[in-house]
Structure formats: structure tokens, C-alpha cells
Structure 1
Amino acid sequence: MYLKKPLWSETGKDDGGSAKTEEEDHGDGAVSEVVKSLQQQRVYREVTLALRTGLRDARAEFSFLRVRALRSILKFLRSVAESGSTIDLFNQTQSIPQLQVVPVLFHHSLKESGDDDYNEKKIKVGDLSHILFGVEPMKLTSPSTDAEVALALRVLEGCCLLHPQSTALAHQHNAIQVLMNILSTRGVLEQGACLDALISLMVDSSSNQMDFEKCSGIMEVADLLRDKQLDENLRLKCGEFLLLLIGHVNGRDAPPLATIHEDTRRLLGEKSASLIWAASQFGSTLDPEQRLTALQIQARRVLESLDLY
């Protein structure tokens, strides 16, 4: 996505410095429109090529190939986010099933382990039917590593932030249930990425918010926040999560998440819940960097209020 400036985008310069006629101005305007159209088509081809290449490897059977693809897609999304025009192009591609990122994430990297195809299709000792009787060879897919899951969650977060309709697409794949399972069973690396992805999934998505409520999501996050044996950075991330979530649903008297303040008070105590309620309104007029700093400061205060009791 780091495109070089094409040679044909250079327009001729008037070396003589003479005033241009109306016809010349009109001609230059027509050329500029053609150049703009060509540039847009070129960038669209680059976007679709990057997605096709990344998604092809994201479907690979081996985890190391999927990890490489996810890193490439994440880098691609960060490049897309730098320009409003490329964001629009990316959003256009997500209406094409073959280029949609979210389904690939849930079919491969975020696929829940257990009684899945990988376990059901283990080759039995002495079973040579796939050789003797011409049965199609079995495909064994390596399970997702910690790094792969964390990367997939970051890609999911980016897709939802750049393309709001991706939250509805993720809902079709039971995204909240999958992520809550990751939050309760995986390590610190995946849990931190999971909290960020959960926020991006629930912003302006009532269906995902209802799923979060059904999964007792607040209770799960509160349990992590109260656990003094847990990694401190993850506990701070839980505090940030609650501040962002409560700030987003503030003033809503109807479901989903209508009882979030009552749940927080019951799970964390009156003092901590009141602090979260007040701090969740931090810096609405601040710039992004100041808001992030304020969020981190308030999350630490929440953590300190819990550790005092």
C-alpha cells in the first residue's frame, strides 16, 4: 500500500510562463480528472491485490503461514487508515464475499478448539483407506498459536473500526461468545487484544451488546480486574475497558446494557463503581493523545481503589 507516484500523474508545466487560454484551462481540468480516475483505479487494484494475497495465506493449514498473513493484513489496515479515500475503498471491498476479512478470521485463526474437524479427522493408526481405496487425503490444520490468536484479534479490531458493518458480520459468527471464551481461557497476550476487540465490536452494535450481556461479560471483566494475582497491565486494560464501555452507554435507560451501572456496583463495590461512573466521562473535548493519557490515569485510579479494600 506504499505506492510510488506514477509517471503519468505528472502534468506538463508551462515553461514559457504565458497566460493560459480558457481552452487550455479546460483541457488541463479534463486531464486532471482522467489522472484522478486512473489513480483511484490503481489504488483499488492495490487494495484488492493486498486483500486477496493476505486472505489466501490466512486460510493456510499451517499456523506460521497464517501468522505471516495476519501481520501483512494488519500492516495493510494501518496503511488504509491513513487516508479517507483508501478507507472508502476498503469498505467497498468488504461488500464482496471473496474479500471479506472477518469470516476468514473466525473460520481459521479464531476457530474454537475442541470437537472440531481437526480432532474428528485424526488419522487412526493402521488406517490406510485413504491410500488403498482412493479416498481423498485428509487435511490436517495446525491449531492456532497464542501469537496467531492475538494478531487475529487485532485484525478484527481494525476491520470493525474502519468498516462498521463488520460488527454485524462478526455477530453472524457468534463473535462475542468466541471472544469471551478467549478472555477466560487464553493468556495475557490474547486477553489484552481481546478486550480491545470487544470494545470495537460493541460500539453502536446492539446485537453484540446483547450477546455480551447474555455471556455475563461484565462479571468476567470484573473478576479479572479484582484478581490481584493477575498481570497488572491486564488489570489496567480491564479498567480501561469498563471506562470506555460505561462512557459509551452513559445515559441509556433501555437495553442492552441498561443495568451496567448496577452490575458494576454489585461486582466492584460502591466506591469503585462511583469512581468508574465519574471517570468514564473523561476528556470528551481532548485530542486523541490526551484522551488516551486520561484513560490510563483513570484506569490506574480504579485499580488503586480496588486494591485498598
Structure 2
Amino acid sequence: MILRQPEWARNVLDVQDGEGDVELDGRKQKRQSPVTELVVALSDQRVYREVVWSLKRGLRDARSEFSFVRVRGLNALAKFMSSAVSDEKVIELFRDCQSYRELQVVPVLFDYTLAPRKRLAKNLSILTPGAQAASSDVESSPTSVEVALGLRVLEGCCLLYNGCRTTASRHAAVSELIDLFLAGGPSVQSHCLDGLLALMLESSSNQKEFERVHGLRKFAEMLRNNHLDPVIRLRIAEFIVILISQILPSANKGFGPAGEDSKPAWMTKWAQQELVELLGEESSAVVDDIIDAGRHKFSDQEGQQTATLRYAQQLLHLASSF
């Protein structure tokens, strides 16, 4: 996206910054000339056009029958997500765009990249029996590169706008990502874990889906598999630590009596029981420490990452000796 102001707009806005404040109803407000108001309005319209154009271009390619074209579209969407993070105006416009069906990103991700077999099955069900064989090879299957890109875009959508998590829940997103993790390679598996965390953040529907499909049990059992790639085992352990210390407690509000926000909600208690059952009674103290760490506010991100890694290594040690 090209979101830099044109030279003429920057010049007008720079002049506006030097005009000073005016007193209005006892409050100081920025003095703004009619010309400046027009420039600001034109700039906002330009950003809106850029956002819509970026989404349309990326989604057009992401709907292609061919994987290499879809990869191009997903790359464009991923770049858009990266640029949107630093601009609150773009984030606001992205959220507004997701109310229009033709600009919604999440349904396209699942229909063409993350769960295309469901769309094909639906399309084939309305065809005559003789046409099914010819239609089964209509589009190329997603490659691991395409799936990894799709997972990155899904994570970005969910972090930019919580409405995308609700849309994803209608596509059984949690179940689909767990299936992708079980069938994918290391690069896909790593992005699946990040995507699952983004999906379940402050989303009770996706957290309930995770419980329904026994997601935590599946990951804890993989943690006990000493033959699994050590890097992926560590990522799974970090995923579990972040899940029970930060993600599941985010759904505490609304559960339990008022004034008991500091106590684990039912989802956290469920996770605690699952882990102790799978990793043994010795894990109980570690799990308690992880939950308590979720209430601690770290002064910097590095301190939080260090604590997460330490607890993940403790879980790995317990799983290996179980």
C-alpha cells in the first residue's frame, strides 16, 4: 500500500500545524481553515480507496483456481496486514470493510486455501453425476507455502478485528487448523499454533470449539512424543503456556460471581485438569505457576518471552519423563 501523503497535502497540513489553537467554549481546539478541512477529507478518501483497492486486488487473486496465483494474492494481503498495524486509520477502515461480503477476507481463506475440500464438495453436490469426474480437477490443491501464507493472513485478520474471529468460528476454524497441524510440515504447524492463539483470544465461541474437539489433549499428547521434531515440541509447549496464562483467562469476564475476576474461569480450570491428567500430578505445581504468571504484568516484552520459554521447558521436561 502507498499511504504517504502527496507533497501538496503535506505542505497544507504543515501550515495548519503552525496556525496554533483557538479558544472555543472554554476549550482549546485546533484552528482549521476550509482549505485544510478539504485536504483532510480528500486524504481520508484516498486512504479508503487504497484500502479497498488492496483488499479487492488480493482477494481477486486469492480466489483463483491456481495455487501460484492464490499465493500472489495472499502475499498482497499479508503485506496489507503488516502495513495496517502501524496506522489506526487503516485498521478502522479494514474493520468497516469486513461488513461487506465482497471484501471479507476470512471466508475466502477457508474456501480456497485452508479448507477448499468443503467448497469443492458443496459445488460437486449440485452437479449431475456425469459432471463430477470432470469437475474434480478444476483447481490445484493448496501447497504448504500457500497454506502457511493463508494462516499468516488469518492471524493478521483476527488480531486487527475481533469480528474476524466470529466469522472464522462459522467455518469451524479451530477444528480446521488442528487438522492442518496434524497433517502439515513444520512451517505450517508453527503458523497453525499462532493462528489458533489469535482465533481464541477473547473469543468464547472458538475456545469452546477448542474444548469440544479436545484440542488441548491432542497437543499435550504430542508434547509427550519424544520422536517429534524438537523445535515443534518446544513450540507446542510455548503454545500451551500462552494458552493457559493469557488466552483462556481473557474469557474470564462474564463467568463466575462479580469480584472474582482474579480466580480462574471455567475454561482455565478445564485446561488445568486436562494437563494434570495427561502430564501427571507433578505438573500441578507448574501449571499453577503458569496461571499465576498470567496475572503478572511484565515491564518489557523480553521478560515475558523469557518467562514463557522457562515454563515451556519445564512442561517439556515433565512430558519427557512421564
TM-score interval, smaller chain: 0.7 to 0.9
Structure 1: tracts of 5 or more residues without a match: 122-126, 131-135
C-alpha distance in 2 between matches for 1:275 and 1:138: 50
Post-superposition CA distance 1:103-159 (Å, at most 9, x none):
0001000125489449969xxxxx8x89xxxxx988711011111111111111110
1:39 aligns with 2:38: no
Q: How many residues get paired?
A: 291
Alignment of 1:22-33 (within 5 A): 28-33=32-37
SS of aligned partner of 1:195: helix
Residues 244 and 290 in structure 2, CA contact (< 8 A), matched pair in contact too: no
Give the match for residue 167 of structure 2.
169
Give the match for residue 142 of structure 1.
140
Residues 213 and 257 in structure 1, CA contact (< 8 A), matched pair in contact too: no
C-alpha distance in 2 between matches for 1:163 and 1:112: 24
Give the match for residue 4 of structure 1.
4
SS of aligned partner of 2:12: coil
1:272 aligns with 2:307: no
Q: CA RMSD in A?
A: 3.1
Alpha-carbon spacing, 1:41–1:185, altered in 2? closer, same or farther (3 Å): same
1:308 to partner: Cα distance: 4.2
SS of aligned partner of 2:239: helix
C-alpha distance in 1 between matches for 2:139 and 2:194: 27
Residues 209 and 257 in structure 1, CA contact (< 8 A), matched pair in contact too: no
Residues 63 and 143 in structure 1, CA contact (< 8 A), matched pair in contact too: yes
Deviates most, 243-252 or 229-238? 243-252
1:28 to partner: Cα distance: 4.9
Residues 243 and 279 in structure 1, CA contact (< 8 A), matched pair in contact too: yes
Give the match for residue 241 of structure 1.
239
**Amino acid aligned to 1:69:** G
Deviates most, 234-243 or 97-106? 234-243
C-alpha distance in 1 between matches for 2:84 and 2:167: 20
Alignment of 1:110-125 (within 5 A): 110-111=114-115, 113=117, 116-117=120-121
1:66 aligns with 2:70: yes
SS of aligned partner of 2:282: helix
Computing the radius of gyration from Cα coordinates, the structure with the larger value is 1
1:44 to partner: Cα distance: 1.0
Residues 57 and 69 in structure 1, CA contact (< 8 A), matched pair in contact too: yes
1:288 to partner: Cα distance: 3.0
Using the size of structure 2 for normalisation, the TM-score is 0.80
Post-superposition CA distance 1:265-304 (Å, at most 9, x none):
0011223343233134155233334323432333223223
Give the match for residue 82 of structure 1.
86
1:29 to partner: Cα distance: 3.3
Give the match for residue 316 of structure 2.
303
Alpha-carbon spacing, 1:96–1:12, altered in 2? closer, same or farther (3 Å): closer
Residues 52 and 97 in structure 2, CA contact (< 8 A), matched pair in contact too: yes
Residues 239 and 302 in structure 1, CA contact (< 8 A), matched pair in contact too: yes
Deviates most, 261-270 or 107-116? 107-116
1:225 aligns with 2:223: yes
**Amino acid aligned to 2:217:** M
Structure 2: tracts of 5 or more residues without a match: 23-28, 250-261
Residues 190 and 232 in structure 2, CA contact (< 8 A), matched pair in contact too: yes
Using the size of structure 1 for normalisation, the TM-score is 0.83
1:97 aligns with 2:101: yes
Deviates most, 276-285 or 147-156? 276-285
Residues 59 and 73 in structure 2, CA contact (< 8 A), matched pair in contact too: yes
Post-superposition CA distance 1:234-283 (Å, at most 9, x none):
11111111111111334565544541101110011223343233134155
> What percentage of aligned pairs have identical amino acids?
37
**Amino acid aligned to 2:303:** Q
Alignment of 1:153-192 (within 5 A): 153-192=151-190
Give the match for residue 259 of structure 1.
270
Residues 171 and 208 in structure 1, CA contact (< 8 A), matched pair in contact too: yes
Give the match for residue 307 of structure 2.
294
Residues 114 and 150 in structure 2, CA contact (< 8 A), matched pair in contact too: yes
Residues 8 and 35 in structure 1, CA contact (< 8 A), matched pair in contact too: no
Give the match for residue 133 of structure 1.
none
SS of aligned partner of 1:270: coil
